[in-house]
Amino acid sequence: AWHRKKKQAIYSGYDCSEFIMRMAQIAGLKFPWKTSTTCVDGLKALQKNESLQEGDIIWIPGHVMVVSDLKNNQIIEARGYGAGYGCVHRISLSEFFADIKTYDD
């Protein structure tokens, strides 16, 4: 038998794009994009005459998140290794964006 002398935590769970891809699969939606970069390349941007809806994806370079609750200004996201890989949680916009408290901002 072999074992490591220093036990290290095994990385498991989802990163941001894997989380969104898996949730789309569960909902039966076609979602072939596997990274945040391919998401932005393949998805249609919100137009000026369109309203933001729950379930829409917010993209910033290197990260994607889901609009969760418009009334309470919340998003759902999964964080990478540094913040606890696989940690899917709902947070307010102000917890993620320094100067944005509501979707109207």
> Residue 94 is encoded by which pair of tokens?
């102000």
Integer CA distances (angstroms), 95 to 34, 53, 100, in order: 25, 20, 9
Strands (E), 37-81: 57-60, 63-69, 74-78
The residue count for the chain: 105
Tell me which of 5 and 48 has the higher pLDDT: 48
Tell me how far apart the alpha carbons of residues 82 and 67 are, in angstroms, rounded to a whole number.
23
Write the CB contacts of 2 (distance below 8 Å, at least 6 apart in sequence).
none
pLDDT at res. 12:
66
Q: What is the mean pLDDT of residues 86-101?
A: 88
User: Does the structure show a pLDDT above 80 at 81?
Assistant: no
pLDDT at res. 10:
59
**Residue 92, φ and ψ in degrees, nearest 5:** -80, 155
